[in-house]
Amino acid sequence: MAQTREHDESARSATFEIDGVRFGVREAGNGRPVVVFGDEAQAKALADGLATHNRVLAMEVFEAGALRANQLAQIAARAVTRIGLERFSVIGISSGSSLALALATLAPNQIDKLILLSPPRMAEFDAQISANLGQVTAPTLVMVGTRDRSGAAETMRTLREKLPACQLLFVYGAGRALITDRPDACLSPINEFLERGIEYVVCHESQVIRR
Partner 1 sequence: MNASYFCSVPYAAEVKNRDWPTPPALCDRATSAKTMNRAIEQALFAEELGFDWVSVSEHHYSPRILTPSPMIFAAGLTQRMKRARIALLGPLMPLSNPIRVAEELAMLDAMSGGRIIVLFLRGTPNEILTYRNNPDESREMTQEGVELILRAWTEPQPFGWEGRYFNFRTVSVWPRTVQEPHPKVFTSGNGPDSVQFAARNRIGLALSFLPLSAVKQRVELYHEEAAKEGWQPTADDVLYRFFAHVAESDEQAARNIGGAKVDLRTLFNINQGVVDAVTGNRPEMREIESPFLCGGPATVLDQIGELRAAGVGNMDMSFVWPTVSYEQQLRSMEVMGRSVLPQIHNL
Instruction: Give the span between the Cα atoms of 195 and 211, in whole angstroms.
Output: 28
Stretch of 13-21, 29-37, 121-129, 167-175 lying at the interface with partner 1 (CB under 8 A): 167-175
φ, ψ at 18 (rounded to 5°): -135, 125
Q: Does 173 bind partner 1 (CB under 8 A)?
A: yes
Strands (E) across 30-156 are located at: 32-38, 54-62, 88-93, 111-117, 140-145
Which residues from 125-164 bind partner 1, rule CB under 8 A? Answer: 143, 146, 156-157, 160-161
Q: Does 185 bind partner 1 (CB under 8 A)?
A: yes
Q: What's the closest the beta carbon of residue 44 comes to partner 1, in angstroms?
A: 21
Asked whether the beta carbons of 145 and 174 are under 8 A apart, the reply is yes
Which residues from 67-106 bind partner 1, rule CB under 8 A? Answer: none
For partner 1, the binding residue among 32, 51, 168, 191 (CB under 8 A) is 168
Asked whether the beta carbons of 36 and 46 are under 8 A apart, the reply is yes
Residues in contact with partner 1 by CB under 8 A are 143, 146, 156-157, 160-161, 167-173, 182, 185-186, 188-189, 200-201, 203
